Chains A and B, each alone.
Chain A
Amino acid sequence: MKQGRIVLNQQARQVTPLADGKLLLDNGNPLADSPQWLAPVTGTVYGVALNHRSLLEQLEAEFQQPPYQKAPATPVLFIKPRNTHAGHGSTIALPTQAGKVFAGGALGVVIGKTASKLTEQQALDVVAGYTIVNEISLEESSFYRPAVKAKCRDGFCPMGPWLVDAAALDPLNVEIRSYLNGELAETNHSRDWLRSVPQLIAALSQFMTLQPGDLIIPATPLRQLEIRPGDTVAVEIAGIGRLENRLIAEESAQ
């Protein structure tokens, strides 16, 4: 089962896909026009940085030096606040004077039940389902301070279009493919992640209660996919769908 959220007459509505590719509204009527999509969830979005094994390997020597002194002992977490949340098809404004901007094709793990102090074995029981996320970020030259300026710009966390049921996907064996202007540009596979989805849910829930509608981004790829105004970026996960967004220059958005 797949569901999405759209705006219709200034109201948030639920949609499900029909076999012919059209959309069915929550009142049982088919939708004629192509909709304006919303992010499929409205809770807190937690991201996990440095969970890609080869990225951590690249930085291993640097992380023994100041200011880090030693490698991270627990998941490195960040929050994508509400101004970053956006839907499939949204146009995202990129700053042109702030250095490189990277796409971050990722899985979105959506929480379905209030979850506190779970074990790894219990963790998947609280997952409502999965979606696709593009965790957009400016280039990070340091991981010492919270990356608010790099990660919290308006529209820098498109999600969707679909939330699929938990049964539709194995979070221990998932591949995320990112496309730049239609060409496959980067892949992100769960086998490359240092901590798995159940391990992360367990770790986060030790000190924060997760709520229905919260979303966890378990891992972003290596930050090699630079995006620029004029580009179209898409992220695909088999079994979920395709999240596509167009990029424009911040100046032209104002």
Chain B
Amino acid sequence: MKHARIRLPGEADIHAVLVNDDHSVQLADGRRLAEDAVEWLPPAEGTVFALGLNYADHAAELAFKAPTEPLVFLKSPATLTGHRQVSVRPDNITYMHYECELVVIIGKTAKNVSRAEAMDYVAGYSVCNDYAVRDYLENYYRPNLRVKNRDTLTPIGPWWVDRDDVANPAALTLRTWVNGELRQQGNTRDMVFDIPFLIEYLSSFMTLSPGDMIATGTPEGLADVVPGDEVIVEVEGVGRLVNHIVSEAQFAARQAQTV
């Protein structure tokens, strides 16, 4: 099953919904609404972990050796947005790129979990686009929040799918299209640190809770995106997340309209 969080236009209430095969959503009160009739929110609420350099090919692309220990950074709710939303490219920068990633949603409280038991703690999977603005990279707590935790720059969703609906999370194709053109392709089998390892690693020094999300890193194939671009990231068998790039001025105009 697919689970999502949505809002209806002009309403404040957040609804937990099930998603049908045609991507319409089923509300608890029986209403069925089309994919384009709702506002898609991030599918879970919790701590968001993200992995840097977790695909060997991507690490090579950025001229790094793959790390010997996971490179983990955190994101706050400020940066998250949902399916079919917009992301802002800052003015006066030279390079902002997408990153298609498989996201693991934690389903049970996890502390000191072994690799062998790790998958018992997974509720399911989602997709995110972990945009980065490389102009703002500094060599302190890199990748720093100014690069990776900007308003609107982490679309996530559209939904999460149950763990048992994905036969092998270690063999999923990831793809990114920009304006309909395939630009990034990889497979989760090429992760440096796989899902069980990441759960064992994180839970060895901190408690993971239901709703926590682990964005597991991106393969090679990065490119700059600009206002007007449609960017779609897809993880095979999990979901396809649509996003549009806007300028700061376009975003400000949209905000003024909705207030």
Contacts and interface: CB of A to CB of B under 8 A. Distances in A.
Interface of A: 44, 46, 49-50, 67-70, 72-74, 76-79, 81-84, 95, 98, 116, 143-149, 152-154, 207-211
Interface stretch (B21-29, B69-77, B119-127): B69-77
B205 A83 contact: no
A148 B72 contact: yes
Contact of A83 (B73, B90, B206): B206
12 contacts: A44-B76, A78-B74, A78-B145, A81-B206, A82-B47, A83-B208, A144-B141, A146-B141, A149-B205, A152-B74, A207-B90, A207-B150
A95 B111 CA distance: 14
Contact of A211 (B78, B111, B206): B78
B165 interface: no
Nearest to A206: B146
A152 B205 contact: yes
Q: Majority SS of interface residues in chain B?
A: loop
A84 B149 CA distance: 19
Interface residues of B, number: 32
Contacts of A98: 205
Nearest to B143: A146
A77 B74 CA distance: 11
B206 A153 contact: yes
B74 A146 contact: yes
Given A74-B138, A95-B205, 17 more contacts: A49-B140, A67-B139, A72-B138, A73-B138, A74-B136, A74-B144, A76-B140, A76-B141, A78-B145, A79-B76, A79-B149, A82-B209, A83-B47, A146-B72, A146-B73, A146-B141, A207-B151
A117 to B, nearest CB: 10
B46 interface: yes
Contact of A68 (B136, B139, B150, B206): B139
B85 interface: no
A116 B138 contact: no
Contact of B206 (A72, A74, A145, A154): A154
Contacts of A209: 78, 151
